[in-house]
Structure 1
Amino acid sequence: MTAPVSISESADAAALPTLLLVDGSSYLYRAFHAMPDLRGPNGEATGAIHGMVNMLGWIRDHLNAEHAVCVFDAKGPTFRDAWYPEYKAHRPPMPDDLRSQIEPIHEVVKLLGWPVLEVPGIEADDAIGTLARVGVASGHKVVISTGDKDMAQLVNGRVSLINTMAKPPEVLDEAGVLAKFGVPPERIIDYLTLIGDAVDNVPGVEKVGPKTAAKWIAEHGSLEGVMAAAASIKGVAGENLRKALDWLPQGRRLITVKCDCDLTGHVSTWPGLDALAMKAPDLPGLLDFYTRFGFRSARAEIERLLKGQAGASSTGAPVTVSGAAVAPGGTGDLFADPPAPHTLPEAACVTSTCYDTILTWADFERWLARIRAAELVAFDTETDSLESMRARIVGLSFSDKVGEACYIPLRHEGPDAPEQLPLDEVLARLKPWFEDELRPKLGQHIKYDTHVLANHGITVRGYRHDTMLESYVLEAHRKHNLGDLALRYVGRAGLSYEDVAGKGAQQIPFAQVAVDRAAQYSCEDSDLTLAVHQALWPQLQAEPGLKDIYERFEMPTSRVLQRIERNGVLIDKALLQQQSHELAQRIMALEQEAYALAGQPFNLASPKQLGEILFVKQGLPVVKKTATGAPSTNEEVLEKLAEDHPLPARILEHRSLAKLKSTYTDKLPLMINPDTGRVHTNYAQAVAVTGRLASNDPNLQNIPVRTTEGRRIREAFIAPPGHVIVSADYSQIELRIMAHISQDENLLRAFADGVDVHKATASEVFGVPVDEVSSEQRRYAKVINFGLIYGMSGFGLAQNLGIERSAANAYIERYFQRFAGVKRYMDDTRAQAKAQGYVETVFGRRLWLPEINSGNGPLRAGAERAAINAPMQGTAADLIKLAMVAVQDTLDAEGRASKIIMQVHDELVLEVPEAELDWVKAAVPRMMASVATLRVPLLAEVGAGPNWEAAH
Structure 2
Amino acid sequence: MKLLIKNEVLNVEKLVLIDGNSIAYRAFFALPLLNNEKGVYTNAVYGFTTMILKILEDEQPTHMLVAFDAGKTTFRHATFKEYKGKREKTPPELAEQLPIMRDLLNAFNIRYYEVDNYEADDIIGTLATKAVNEQQQWQVNIYTGDKDLLQLVSKNVHVSLTRKGITNVDTYDLQLVDDTYGITPKQIVDMKGLMGDSSDNIPGVPGIGEKTALKLLKEHKTVEGVYEAIDSVSGKKLKENLEQNKEQAFMSKKLAEIMLDAPVSIALDELKLGERENDELISLFKELEFNSLLDRLGMEATPSGTEEMEDLDVQSVNHVTEDMLQSPSAIVVEVLEENYHQADIIGLAIANETGTYYLSADVALKSDVFKSWASDGTREKYIFNAKRAVVALGWQDVVMNGIIFDVQIASYLINPSASSHDLADIAKRQKSLQVQLDESVYGKGKKRHIPEVTILSQHLGRKATALLELKDVLYDELQRNDQLDLFEKLEMPLSVILGRMEMNGVAVDGDVLREMGKDLSQRLEKMEKEIYELAGTEFNINSPKQLGEVLFEKLNLPVIKKTKTGYSTSADVLEKLQDSHEVIPLILHYRQLGKLNSTYIEGLLKVLHKKTGKIHTIFNQAITQTGRLSSTEPNLQNIPIRLEEGRKIRHAFIPENKHARILAADYSQIELRVLAHISQDANLKQAFNENMDVHTKTAMDVFGVDHTEVTDNMRRTAKAVNFGIVYGISDYGLSQNLGITRKEARTFIDRYFESYPGVKEYMDTIVEEAREKGFVTTMLHRRRYLPELTSRNFNQRSFAERTAMNTPIQGSAADIIKKAMVDMAEKMEEQNMRSRLLLQVHDELIFEVPEEELEQMTKLVPEVMEKAVELDVPLIADVAHGDTWYDAK
Q: Structure 1 738/624 Cα, relative in aligned 2: closer, same or farther at 3 Å?
A: farther
1:672 to 589, 608, 614: 608
Question: Which string of whole-angstrom CA distances, capped at 9 and with x for unpartnered residues, describes residues 62-109 of structure 1?
Answer: xxxxxxxxxxxxxxxxxxxxxxxxxx997989999xxxxxxxxxxxxx
- Residue 325 of structure 2 corresponds to 371
After TM superposition, give the deviation of residue 831 of structure 1 in Å. 4.5
Q: How far apart are residue 763 of structure 1 and its match?
A: 2.5
Alignment of 1:590 onto 2:527: yes
Correspondences of 1:115-194 after superposition (within 5 Å): none
TM-fit CA distance, 1:935? 1.3
2:341 to 364, 376, 389: 389
Structural mapping, 1:387-426, within 5 Å: 387-401=339-353, 404-411=355-362, 421=363, 423-424=365-366, 426=367
1:350 corresponding residue in structure 2:
311
Name the aligned partner's letter for residue 474 of structure 2: L
CA contact (8 A) 1:401 1:530 kept: no
Contact 1:729 1:906 in 2 (8 A): yes
Matches for 1:462-861 after TM superposition, within 5 Å: 462-478=402-418, 479-490=420-431, 492-508=433-449, 510=450, 513-544=451-482, 546-615=483-552, 617-621=554-558, 623=560, 632-719=568-655, 720-770=657-707, 773-803=710-740, 805-833=742-770, 838-849=775-786
Tell me the distance in 1 between the aligned counterparts of 2:389 and 2:738: 49
CA distance in 2, matches of 1:476, 1:203: 55
CA 1:816–1:616 in structure 2 vs 1: closer, same or farther (change >3 Å)? farther
What RMSD over aligned residues (CA atoms) do the two structures have, in Å? 3.8
How far residue 489 of structure 1 moved from its aligned partner, in angstroms, is: 2.3
**C-alpha distance in structure 1 between counterparts of 2:765 and 2:595, whole Å:** 41
CA distance in 2, matches of 1:864, 1:591: 49
Q: In the alignment, what sits opposite 1:454?
A: 394
Q: Give the equivalent residue in structure 1 for 2:874.
A: 937
1:465 Cα shift? Answer: 1.0
Query: Take 1:559 and 1:462, find their aligned partners in 2: how far apart are those partners?
Result: 11
Q: For the residues of structure 2 that align with 1:717 and 1:677, how far apart are their CA atoms?
A: 12
Residues 437-462 of structure 1 deviation map (CA, whole Å, 9 limit, x = unaligned): 22221111110111122223332221
Residues 247-287 of structure 1 deviation map (CA, whole Å, 9 limit, x = unaligned): xxx999x99xxxxxxxxxxxxxxxxxxxxxxxxxxxxxxxx
1:532 CA drift (Å): 3.2
- 2:382/2:404 contact within 8 Å kept: yes
Change (3 A) 1:924 1:251: closer
What SS does structure 2 have at the residue aligned with 1:680? coil
Aligned amino acid, residue 350 of structure 2: F
Cα offsets for 1:772-803 (capped at 9, x unmatched): 54444333322222232233344444454455
Question: Conserved in 2, the CA contact under 8 Å of 1:849 and 1:863?
Answer: yes
Question: How far has the Cα of 1:881 moved from its partner?
Answer: 0.4
Structure 1's 602 and 797: CA in aligned 2 closer, same or farther, altered over 3 A? same
AA in 2 matched with 1:701: Q
The amino acid that maps onto 2:481 is E
Q: Is contact 1:496-1:521 (8 Å) kept?
A: no
Correspondence 1:891 to 2:828 = yes
Aligned equivalents of 1:790, 1:380: Cα separation in 2? 39
1:546-585: CA deviations, max 9, x gaps? Answer: 3332223211211110111111111011010011111122
Counterpart residue identity of residue 422, structure 2: N
Q: Give the Cα separation in 2 of the matches to 1:204 and 1:357.
A: 67
What does residue range 72-151 of structure 1 map to in structure 2 within 5 Å?
none
TM-score by length of 1: 0.59
- Give yes or no for contact 2:490–2:819 (8 Å, CA) kept in 1: yes
1:864-917: CA deviation from partner (whole Å, max 9, x where unpaired): 444433222211110110000110111111110000011101011000000000
1: CA distance, partners of 2:404 / 2:480: 18
Q: 1:338 to 1:378 in 2, by over 3 A?
A: farther
Whole-Å separation in 2 of the counterparts to 1:760 and 1:580: 43
Following TM superposition, by how much is the alpha carbon of 1:613 offset from its aligned partner in structure 2, in angstroms? 4.3
Task: Name the CA shift for 1:340/1:500 in 2 (closer, same or farther; >3 Å).
Answer: closer
> Structure 1 residues 529, 554: CA separation in 2 closer, same or farther (over 3 Å shift)?
same
Contact residue 365 and residue 371 of structure 2 kept, 8 A: no
Q: Supply the AA of the counterpart residue of 1:369.
A: D
The offset of 1:686, in angstroms, is 1.0
> Using the alignment, how far apart are the partners of 1:203 and 1:565 within structure 2?
70
> Which consecutive residues of structure 2, in runs of 5 or more, have no partner in the other structure?
1-62, 72-106, 110-133, 140-266, 273-301
Amino acid across the alignment from 2:404: R
The amino acid across from 2:454 in the alignment is D
Partner Cα separation in structure 2 for residue 459 and residue 205 of structure 1: 74
CA contact (8 A) 1:338 1:492 kept: no
Q: Which amino acid aligns with 1:875?
A: S
Cα 1:629–1:586, aligned 2, differ >3 Å: closer, same or farther?
closer
- Asked if structure 2 preserves the Cα contact closer than 8 Å seen for 1:339 and 1:493, the reply is no
Could you tell me how far 1:486 is from its partner in structure 2? 2.3
**Separation (CA, whole Å) in 2 of partners of 1:853 and 1:597:** 59
Is the Cα contact below 8 Å between 1:725 and 1:910 reproduced in 2?
yes
What is the aligned residue count?
610
1:74 maps to what in 2? none
CA contact (8 A) 1:342 1:495 kept: no
| Residue 437 (str. 1) matches residue 403 (str. 2) | no
Q: Could you say if the C-alpha distance between residues 597 and 900 of structure 1 is closer, same or farther in structure 2, counting changes exceeding 3 Å?
A: same
CA distance in 2, matches of 1:730, 1:501: 43
Q: Secondary structure at the match of 1:678?
A: coil
The SS at the match of 2:886 is coil
Give, in angstroms, the shift of residue 400 of structure 1: 1.4
Q: Say whether the 8 Å CA contact 1:689–1:848 is kept in structure 2.
A: no
1:341 match:
307
Contact 1:390 1:455 in 2 (8 A): no
Indicate conservation of the 8 Å contact 2:835/2:847, yes or no.
yes
Segment of structure 1 superposing worse, 608-617 or 571-580: 608-617
| CA distance, structure 2, for counterparts of residue 566 and residue 523 of structure 1 | 27
- Code of the residue aligned with 1:356 in structure 2: it is Q
Distance 1:540 1:422 in 2: 33
Residue of structure 1 aligned with 2:862, choices 922, 925, 930: 925
> Is the CA contact (8 Å cut-off) linking 2:306 and 2:436 kept in structure 1?
no
Whole-Å separation in 2 of the counterparts to 1:603 and 1:864: 48
Aligned letter for 1:342? E
Rate the CA distance shift 1:642–1:93 in 2: closer, same or farther, 3 A. Answer: closer
Change (3 A) 1:566 1:410: closer
Task: After superposition, give the CA deviation of every residue in 1:451-510 in whole Å (9 maximum; x if it has no partner).
Answer: 1222233322211111111111112122111222222322654344455545444544x4
Residues 1:911 and 2:848 are matched in the alignment: yes
CA 680–340 in structure 1, closer or farther in 2 if over 3 Å, else same: closer
Alpha-carbon distance change, 446 to 758 in structure 1, aligned in 2, over 3 angstroms = same
Alpha-carbon spacing, 1:462–1:826, altered in 2? closer, same or farther (3 Å): same
Q: Secondary structure at the match of 1:950?
A: helix
Output the amino acid matched with 1:900. L
Shift in Å, 1:760: 1.9
- Matches of 1:205 and 1:379, distance apart in 2: 65
Residue identity (%): 39
Deviation at 1:598, TM superposition (A): 4.0
